[in-house]
Amino acid sequence: QVHLVESGGGLVQPGGSLRLSCASSGSIFSMNVMGWYRQSPGKQRDLVATITGDGITNYADSLKGRFTISRDNAKNTVYLQMNSLKPEDTDVYYCNLRNTYLSGIYDDYWGQGTQVTVSS
């Protein structure tokens, strides 16, 4: 089992910045991907960004250039630096960790979600 604890959300004005953190613990595989997703009320959970243990990143096209994902493998922690925030970035942000077995089967684990509100 994997436990994820998120922090760093809050209220920020348009154009501002926030840094989200997600610390993981438990049975974390060497072959894992960590990432961030976000979800608005009544909508599906959407990809924000993912990062492999080797530092390979993947971003939602609409967020490229404003958001940066990074990780500290020693701490099993993933971060999301959010700059130039817009009101449409307002969402609940969820941390994700995917443990992948050699067979290709995987397990997904999710954080509790942290609210990001961009408003003046």
The pLDDT value given to residue 54: 92
Q: Is pLDDT of 34 > 90?
A: yes
Q: Lay out the sheet containing 2-7: strands in order across.
A: 2-7, 18-26, 77-82, 67-72
Give the CA count within 13 Å in the CB-facing half-sphere of 118.
Answer: 18
Percent composition of the chain: helix, strand, coil (DSSP 3-state, to 5): 5, 60, 40
Question: Is 87:119 a contact under the CB 8 Å cutoff?
Answer: yes
What confidence tens digit (pLDDT) does each residue in 36-65 have?
999 988 999 999 999 999 999 999 999 989
Beta strands in 14-73 (DSSP E): 18-26, 32-39, 46-52, 57-59, 67-72
